[in-house]
Structure formats: C-alpha cells, structure tokens
Structure 1
Amino acid sequence: MGVVAVPDSRVALSTSSVYPLSVVGAFDLADRLGYDGLEVMVWTDPVSQESGALNRLIDHYGLPVVSIHAPTLLLTQRVWGTEPWDKIDNSVRLAQEVGAEVVVVHPPFRWQKEYATGFAEGIAQREADSGMAIAVENMFPWRARGREMLAYLPHWDPREENYAHVTLDLSHTATAGTDALEMVDDLGERLRHLHLADGLGSFKDEHLVPGRGGQPCAEVLEKLAAQRFAGDVVVEVGTRKQTDEDRELDLAEALAFARLHLAAIGKS
C-alpha cells in the first residue's frame, strides 16, 4: 500500500512575483494565500534593503524570510553600489539579521572579469566565515539574431563549477534548453534551493506559472519530495502586467501546484 510522504520544504513567495507591488504587498499576499514565507529580492524598494523594516513585517505577519536574493541582476546593478562583492556581503549580513538561511546569487556577468576570477573561492570563503548557504543560480546563454553568447562567467550552468550550494531555476532551464530533471540528478546534495516557475523555451526568461510551460515542474517537485528535499521551494513568477485580481489568482494557483506535487507516493 502506498503512503504519501511530504518533505520538510517550505513553499515561499518571492517578492519579485508581485512586482510592481512593494515588499509590503508581497507579505500581505503571502499571508492571505497561505505561503510559508518569503524570499526578498533586494531591489530599489528601501524595505527590501533594511533589516529593521523586514523584521517588523516578519513580526506583524508571522511569516519568515527564508532567503535573500542578492542584487546581482542587470536591473539592480546600482543597488548597494557597483562593487559586486559588497553586494554579496551586504546580502549575507541582511540574511543573518532577518534569520534567513540562504542567499541567492547570480554568477558574474562576462564583463565582470575581475569579480569572476576567484568567484567560486570567494563564495566558499564567505560561506565558511558566515555559516550562510550562498546558492549560485543556474542561468542561460543570451541569444540574438540566431547567435548565442556566453553572458556569464565562469559559466551559466553551475554543474561543473565548484559551488557547495546551487539554486535551480526552472524558468532558466527552459531558456537554456537544459534538462531540469537531469540537473536535479547531477547536482545531488548541492541542490539547496528551488525557484519554481515555467517556460516555453523562448529566448526570453518567461517565469510562467508552473504548469503553463514546457518544463517538468511537477516531476521535479515529485522527485524532490521522494528524496525528502529539505530546501525551500520559492515561487518566482512574473505578474507585472496582471490586475490585482489576476495576480492573486496566479499566485494561488502556483502555491496549489507546489503543494500538490510536493507529495511523493512511496511504499509503506
């Protein structure tokens, strides 16, 4: 007879999923919809950068911040200055001050050659010094006019790099054309964090609601459940053009999808 095994994974909401709403709006939606916590994307919103403001929201809503996403995107290149290691160090400090367990970072852009030199070693040293898991995210090649360009150093695929912790993003696997299930197997215990989204394989990073693209989102969740994955699953979908009502419906659907498939049928 089969039994249902549900892992310890929390299902959290990324504040980027409610953009252009504020961090406060993300907490409010996460609370009303029943998410287990939030991932805070450090952004131009001052609340995303300040531990005192975040701790007041944590206390008010009774929801933890499970992870901090460092401002390493193109659009956040001037948040906390332009020195990339300062961004990582500030993100680690913020995570410690709000009780988060993971800092999510992107690999260096190809023009950040000095930063890219010794990147893996720098991440490892900061993990050792702080005790914080710094999970490097899988990215994708940039494509234009039928040509592919290596946009990240040392590479957009973290499998061959010496990172102790990795964030797997299922919208990025769609854009890159990589096999998400194979990545789960290849990463093994290094897989620390999951960004749950979907994509149709466009050159754009689509971040669709899971189940609306071509990625094996259900299968990935079920595989992780069977493995008793203890990391966090963070819904990171795009709702920028949605009405408030449609945004809430999409985020409720994404949460229900995650809950449904984070249950593995095993043998009793």
Structure 2
Amino acid sequence: MANPAADPAARAPGVKVALSTASVYPENTATAFEIAGRLGYDGVEVMVWTDPVSQDLDALRALSDRHEVPVLAIHAPCLLITQRVWSSDPWTKLKRAKTAAEKLGASTVVVHPPFRWQRQYARDFVSGVWRMAGETDVRFAVENMYPWRYRDREMLAYAPDWDVTKEDYRHFTVDLSHTATARTDTMAMVDRMGDRLGHVHLADGKGSAKDEHLVPGRGDQPCAELLHGLADRGFDGHVVIEVNTRRAVSVAERESDLAEALSFTRRHLADARARRLAVPPRTGRAGGAV
C-alpha cells in the first residue's frame, strides 16, 4: 500500500520535515535513515548518543547517500546517558557537533541548557553559545526544557533556566512535548521566541511529569496551531518529528506512527500555505497590489 505522506505532491514547499533518529528507539540510527527514506521524510536529525554509528561522520554520510536522506540537524549529546559521548567536556561536545553539522551539510545544532551541577559550563553557557554561533553558519538552537517533578516536589534541573526564553540566544528550538511536561503556555513561549525560533521538535503531550513525546494530535498541545503560524512568523527552519515509539509492538506499528506524524505535519503545513495563497493581495489607492 502506497504511503500518502511519501507522495511529493503532498509536500509543502519551504518547510522541510525531518525524522529524529531518536524516534525509532530502541532501534538504531541506521534504521532511522532507512525508515525516513521509505516514508518520504525530507531528512533526518541525528541524535548523537551511545549508538556508535550516530557518532561516526563517515558512517552517517554513507547512510545519507544510500537512502538519499540528507542530514538536516545534529542534536548534540547533552542527555544524562550521553555525558561521556564525544568527551566529558560539554564545550568539546558542542565543537564536535558543529564540525559534524558543517561536514554533513546540516543547518542546525540542537543543544539543551546545562544541568545545574555543570556549574562552570552553566555560568558561561549563554556567552559561549553566542561565541560559537559567530564562528559558523550553523545555527545553535537552544531547546526549551522543563522542571523535573516527583510526586509533589519540583526540581529545577537546568541552568540558567529550563525556560530558555529568559535568556538571550540567537536561535531557539521549541519542543512541544517539553512545553507539555513544563505545563507552560506553548504559544506564549513561541511568541517570546519570535523570529529567533529556528527549529521545531514536533511531538505532543498531556502534561504528564514524564516527557511523553506522543504522536502529534494525540495530546493537548497546539501542534496544528503552531504549524499554521510558522509562515506568518517568517520561519525558515525545519520541523523535526521527535516522538516516542518504544512501546510499538512491531515494526509495522512503529512505521505507522511515524507515517501518521509525517502526514499530520505535512497536512497542516499545506493547509496553512493554501490559506495564505487564498488571501487576495492588498491594493493601494490606484488599485495596484501592495
């Protein structure tokens, strides 16, 4: 059965839709490229983690060539489980992520704010990201996070803050699963990001203390509203599907979820474009288009 999301006619011009390699976990990076190519994604975002292939630029280039799927973004290894991937020094990680993006042709490096216990890194983070951004055409898009919660307790795990709009960054990544977990107003955060919104992690959530990363449309986040408004915001980045499929009972179920996420995203991007094209141009006093 043909996959409608893979039909080039269904692709909205302008915004590219990529698959995060994290979306196929516990499958590996190579599987993500294969699935992205088969389903018709425009590219991938490589989550650099403990899978050796995700850390190997030659292997990533070979996968990209084999499946004809470009690498559009690199997610730097800043998770708890990746603290020793590409060095234990966080600045070395970002430098290697920048090099990977440059060599693979990716436009964006996604980075989380530091953990609070990374005191020196946190102290220099804002100025350091600006400095590195000035050394390359690659965007360093800092991603919103969330408070950690356990029962009735809340711990602020990130510094300077989980709400990255409280700091002055050149580019932001908005993650809608993280806004759900933070129980914050997503569109208000996006408004604060303004024209510095450079990258989107599209997923859904229901406000659980756990970072859910549901398929878009299965939670209560304004996924469609965000997609509809990207053009109006002058967005020139990528939308990345970053969902949790680890509970899929079969390969077919995992691919069905990823196809659904791609179809949802392309449909709402196309709807937004159609509405913009349907609006007649404003005219000046002499009747000419403005």
Question: Which residue pairs with 1:244 in the alignment?
Answer: 251
Question: Which residue pairs with 2:121 in the alignment?
Answer: 115
Q: Given the alignment of the two structures, is residue 68 of structure 1 paired with residue 78 of structure 2, yes or no?
A: no
Q: Any conservation in 1 of the 2:195–2:235 contact (CA below 8 Å)?
A: no
> Following superposition of structure 1 onto structure 2, how do residues 155-174 of structure 1 map, counting pairs within 5 Å?
155-174=161-180
AA matched with 1:255: L
AA matched with 2:152: G
Specify the SS of the correspondent of 2:230: helix
Q: Given the alignment of the two structures, is residue 32 of structure 1 paired with residue 38 of structure 2, yes or no?
A: yes
Question: Which residue pairs with 1:262 in the alignment?
Answer: 269
For these two proteins, the number of residue pairs brought into alignment is 264
* 1:18-60 CA-partner distances (Å, limit 9, x unpaired): 0111111001100111100000000111111111111111111
Question: Which residue pairs with 1:130 in the alignment?
Answer: 136
Question: Which residue pairs with 2:98 in the alignment?
Answer: 92
The Cα shift of 1:235 comes to: 0.1
Query: Please, what TM-score do these two structures have when normalized by structure 1?
Result: 0.96
Question: Which residue pairs with 1:151 in the alignment?
Answer: 157
Q: Find the partner of 2:239 among 233, 236, 258.
A: 233
Task: Quote the Cα distance in structure 1 between the aligned partners of 2:13 and 2:195.
Answer: 15
Q: Given the alignment of the two structures, is residue 253 of structure 1 paired with residue 260 of structure 2, yes or no?
A: yes
Q: Any conservation in 1 of the 2:195–2:234 contact (CA below 8 Å)?
A: no
AA matched with 2:40: G
* 1:204-243 CA-partner distances (Å, limit 9, x unpaired): 0000000000101010111113334211000000011212
Using the TM superposition, name which of 45-54 and 167-176 deviates more.
45-54
AA matched with 1:157: D
Question: Which residue pairs with 2:210 in the alignment?
Answer: 204
The Cα shift of 1:81 comes to: 2.1
Q: Any conservation in 2 of the 1:7–1:229 contact (CA below 8 Å)?
A: no
Larger RCO, structure (CA 8 Å, separation 6 or more): 1
Using the TM superposition, name which of 71-80 and 208-217 deviates more.
71-80
Task: Quote the Cα distance in structure 2 between the aligned partners of 1:244 and 1:136.
Answer: 32
AA matched with 2:193: L
AA matched with 1:245: A
Specify the SS of the correspondent of 2:154: strand
Specify the SS of the correspondent of 1:211: coil
Task: Quote the Cα distance in structure 2 between the aligned partners of 1:21 and 1:211.
Answer: 24
Task: Quote the Cα distance in structure 1 between the aligned partners of 2:229 and 2:138.
Answer: 26
* 1:117-172 CA-partner distances (Å, limit 9, x unpaired): 11011001111112221010000001112111111000000112011000000000
Q: Any conservation in 1 of the 2:195–2:233 contact (CA below 8 Å)?
A: no
Query: Please, what TM-score do these two structures have when normalized by structure 2?
Result: 0.89
* 1:148-197 CA-partner distances (Å, limit 9, x unpaired): 11110000001120110000000000000111111221111110000000
Question: Which structure's CA Rg is the greater one?
Answer: 2
Q: Any conservation in 2 of the 1:7–1:230 contact (CA below 8 Å)?
A: no
Q: Given the alignment of the two structures, is residue 175 of structure 1 paired with residue 187 of structure 2, yes or no?
A: no
Q: Find the partner of 1:142 among 130, 148, 152.
A: 148
Q: Any conservation in 2 of the 1:11–1:232 contact (CA below 8 Å)?
A: yes
Question: Which residue pairs with 1:80 in the alignment?
Answer: 86
Q: Find the partner of 2:16 among 10, 13, 18.
A: 10
Task: Quote the Cα distance in structure 2 between the aligned partners of 1:33 and 1:91.
Answer: 27
Superposition RMSD in Å: 1.3
The Cα shift of 1:114 comes to: 0.7
Q: Any conservation in 2 of the 1:7–1:228 contact (CA below 8 Å)?
A: no
Uncovered stretches (5+) of structure 1, i.e. residues with no partner: 1-5
Task: Quote the Cα distance in structure 2 between the aligned partners of 1:135 and 1:221.
Answer: 18
* Identity among equivalent pairs (%): 58
Q: Any conservation in 1 of the 2:30–2:63 contact (CA below 8 Å)?
A: yes
Task: Quote the Cα distance in structure 2 between the aligned partners of 1:227 and 1:125.
Answer: 26
